[in-house]
Amino acid sequence: MIKWKGIRWSIHPLFVIVMLASAVTGYFAELLTLFIIVFVHELGHVVAAKGFGWTIREVKLLPFGGVAEVEEAGGISAKEDAIVAIAGPLQNVWMGALAWGLGAAGIWDEAWAHYVSGANLMIALFNLLPIYPLDGGKLLQALLSYMMNYYRMLVWSARLSLAFSVLMLAAAFLPLLGGKGIQLNLLIVGSFLFLSNWTYHRNIPYLFYRFLTHRSNAVSGAADSGKPVSPIIVSGTQSILSVARLFSRERYHLVYVMDPASSGLLVLTEGRIVEGCLSGYSPHRAVSELFS
């Protein structure tokens, strides 16, 4: 692990396995090239994230990209998340085009230029698969954020990522139907993605509370800037947590509570709901209790 520009950079054990396999089989030049491609790919994410003022704690390099741990996780807008996600594959576009151009101009050996441009294309396309934490999985999350509330976005992105991971594992065994061997690389990567998303699915409650923690800090700023809000109408008997799960990533809310004990609608700010979830008291108590 090294620290550069205030960011910890490390190599994931999965990448170490690929390195060892490449060293044993004599593909050192290909390994070094892959490492550079992955590093530049991830550097694209880092530069874009820094441009938005994100605080990046650590970047773990994988054979197909990397995973960045950011301070703002849970409080990032869908637009920023999508831009940072696509910044990685865009690096593969110019690197692949450059390799192809150098080969066409005769500066690089044609076979080597074909390998480098092909490797960039493969890494870019693989990262655009709709599986978290790949770039395509983050783009999927950003898209879902405009279609549903944050909690449902977490659930559905995890479910879809698990489904596509299973398809990847199934694809690893497809060659057996033709009398060939298992695609070991696909099996290893598919297993890693499946296990990652299984853990992600189990951690959804924690991820949601991290979202609420960021919202508690952002709500006051939204009010000061005069941001428009969206109304949510709920029953006074609903739990505070169930109301919080209606919050969208891209909007702030005013909560109108229908309470039989009072006439008309009572109003709660989003911040009051968030406070009710994070106060230490049971978030499963009725939302009407916030008025007492």
Write down the pLDDT at residue 241. 94
Residues 230 and 124 in one domain: no
Write down the pLDDT at residue 75. 81
CA distances 209 to 20, 32, 277, Å, are: 40, 41, 8
Q: Cα(first)–Cα(last) distance of the chain, in Å?
A: 53
Q: Is residue 152 part of a domain?
A: no
Tens digits of residue pLDDT in 58-113: 888 877 777 777 877 778 889 999 999 999 999 999 999 999 999 998 899 999 99
Name the stretches of the chain with pLDDT < 70: 1, 3-5, 18-28, 217-228, 261-263
* Helical (H) or strand (E) element with 276: helix 270-278
Q: Is residue 151 part of a domain?
A: no
**Strand 265-269 vs strand 252-258: parallel, antiparallel, or unpaired?**
antiparallel
Q: Is residue 146 part of a domain?
A: no
Domain closes at, from 128, 150, 177: 128
Write down the pLDDT at residue 186. 85
* Helical (H) or strand (E) element with 9: strand 7-11
Residues 7 and 117 in one domain: yes
Domain closes at, from 128, 150, 176: 128
DSSP state of 234: E
Q: Is residue 156 part of a domain?
A: no
Q: Is residue 169 part of a domain?
A: no
Domain ranges, residue 276? 226-291
Q: Is residue 187 part of a domain?
A: no
Domain count, the chain: 2
Q: Is residue 72 part of a domain?
A: yes
Write down the pLDDT at residue 79. 92
Q: Is residue 174 part of a domain?
A: no
Residues 7 and 118 in one domain: yes
Paired strand residues for 286 = 239
Which CATH number fits the domain that encloses residue 255?
3.10.580.10
Write down the pLDDT at residue 184. 81
Phi, psi dihedral angles at 62 (to 5 degrees): -115, 165
Q: How far apart are CA 266 and CA 286, in angstroms?
A: 14
Domain closes at, from 128, 148, 178: 128
